[in-house]
Structure 1
Amino acid sequence: MNASDVAEQVHASNWLDHAIRAGLVAYGLVHLLVAWLALQLAFGEKADSASNSGALQLLAEQPLGEVLVWLVAGGMFLLVLWRLLEFAFGYPEVSDKAKRWRKRATSLGKAVIYGAIGWSAVKTATGDASKGGTDSTTAKLMQLSGGQLIVGAVGLAIIAYGISLVVRGWTEKFREHLDAQGQLGQEGSAYVLLGKVGYIAKGIAIGIVGGLFCYAAITHKAKKSGGLDQALQTVLEQPFGPVLLTAIAVGIAAYGLFCFARAKHLSR
């Protein structure tokens, strides 16, 4: 039996289901912490950065925080393993080859997202959290030949991802992530509502991040770009900003709770 056969067996194993559940719980926890930080921002309280890294830093400051951050890192890397196996062996039931590879490419993209959070967790746990930030990364891209186009393309890709989350939430396509039992009765209705609100709110927040990248590309000002924390700050600065930011924070919390529901009623 070669390495490919072993990897394919792991992808189909019950063990991987348990690993995915652990990772989804960690992912949900990160979203709940981001939502808490966003609520603090909405109510005018000085808080850590309302982002994944800020959430991990907040977690690290709690009792047994370093252990919890390491557990989050482990959970994220388990999700990376799942998505990489999905990229290599997933979706055999999809007959359309182009559609199958689009799905596999999406899995690869999600592996990158989970990996970034996992790496941020490792750096937080080891006391080596990055001081650079999104704007410094954007500034480096701006210095490249065609840098503005690259940053603009990144922004458009982020916007497209945000829109896809909104569409997935609105059409309730996320139901495919829950088994049949997880969609039945009042409990199932609550899970679906959490998913709907969560996906739409998260999609809006990510879309704003993409908009900031596009604005930075147009104005050639790297500091105009930013991550989730700057996107939420931008929401706060709008008319009725605290109300809008509170709604988004509640939505992000709903997404976190949906991750817990998905872990309980996993369907893949």
Structure 2
Amino acid sequence: MNTVPRPQEGARAAADAADTAVEDVAEHPVFEAVARGGFVMSGLVHVLIGAIALRIATGGSSQEADQSGALRAVAAAPGGEVLLWIGGIAMVALTLWHLAEAWIGARWKEQGRDRLKHVARTLGKAVVYGALAGTVLRFAAGGGSDSGEQTSQLTAGLMGNAAGRAAIIALGLVVISIGLFHVYRGASRGFEDQLRVPPGRTVARTVVVTGVAGYIAKGIALLGVGMMFGWAALGADPEKATGLDGALKTMAELPAGGIVLAVVAAGLILFGIYSVLRARYAPM
């Protein structure tokens, strides 16, 4: 006797088919290899930001110590645009991989707080890598922008009323929270579960050193960015909210700021090396 499938059964079958398709794509060796390249591109950007910040600390550079400055340096190098296209595509793949992880986690992970944390964390990573992918591809296509100027323009549009300034303060607090999380993750070595490194090897020690120093340095940099947002909102001065470049250059102007900035810059370079190691040892 033929039976007509119930609507909920059809929806469940469609969802199961979507799950299978997402898993097949996410686990395909070629897609995985391209996505791992996104970690390399992210690492290169952090290394270049750190190198620019190091030159600023010694008074030898006027470049922007942020994504725009790093990508502008890549674009100006021989073959730089080709490298940006490759890196941008790899970062798009990495973004899609995190979105697939969020989908699979939402469907199959156990109910409750663990599933919610997994989905939120994975979606957050997808947003970060997706934003960087868009920036890389803009530079690859010959475009680009000044991150600090864009940030100032954005905050300037919100300075006209109390609600806008409150939103900027809230954004600053979010960035500060992310910075504190990075510092905690580095100090507690909570990043080690992100990589599967064979124990007892030199690379395992390298992961620890680069991860601890890198996460703490990036956290300090983000703390500076968050405080600049708060300073801009309280003083109704959007010029103070210039993103990472402004935060690092302000750091250099503090007493012994050159030394502090040099340490943070070295940490950002180490974070870039850690990101490259993720390309090899991150479980995917």
Task: Confirm or deny a common fold (TM above 0.5).
Answer: yes
Residue of structure 2 equivalent to 1:154: 171
**1:72 Cα shift?**
1.9
CA distance in 2, matches of 1:160, 1:28: 22
Aligned pair 1:20/2:48, yes or no? no
| TM-score where L is the length of structure 2 | 0.87
Q: What does residue range 1-268 of structure 1 map to in structure 2 within 5 Å?
A: 2-90=17-105, 95=110, 97-131=112-146, 132-143=149-160, 146-181=163-198, 183-268=199-284
CA distance in 2, matches of 1:44, 1:246: 11
**1:45 Cα shift?**
1.3
Structure 1, 50-59 or 69-78: larger mean CA deviation? 69-78
Structure 1 residues 39 and 66 mapped into 2: Cα distance closer, same or farther (>3 Å)? same
8 Å Cα contact 2:34/2:90 also seen in 1 = yes
CA distance in 1, matches of 2:67, 2:107: 33
CA distance in 1, matches of 2:90, 2:274: 16
**1:16 Cα shift?**
4.4
Structure 1, 199-208 or 137-146: larger mean CA deviation? 137-146
8 Å Cα contact 1:27/1:75 also seen in 2 = no
8 Å Cα contact 2:52/2:65 also seen in 1 = yes
| TM-score where L is the length of structure 1 | 0.92
Structure 1 residues 3 and 144 mapped into 2: Cα distance closer, same or farther (>3 Å)? farther
The amino acid of 2:60's aligned partner reads E
5+ long unaligned stretches in structure 2: 1-13
Task: Count matched residues.
Answer: 267
CA distance in 2, matches of 1:249, 1:94: 39
Sequence identity of aligned pairs in percent? 35
CA distance in 1, matches of 2:108, 2:201: 29
Structure number with greater Rg is 2
Structure 1 residues 224 and 159 mapped into 2: Cα distance closer, same or farther (>3 Å)? same
- 1:184-218, CA deviations, whole angstroms, 9 ceiling, x for partnerless residues? 33321122111110011001101110111111122
- 1:67-105, CA deviations, whole angstroms, 9 ceiling, x for partnerless residues? 111122112212211221122113778646223212311
CA distance in 1, matches of 2:205, 2:234: 43
CA distance in 2, matches of 1:13, 1:70: 22
8 Å Cα contact 1:59/1:65 also seen in 2 = yes
5+ long unaligned stretches in structure 1: none
8 Å Cα contact 1:28/1:259 also seen in 2 = yes
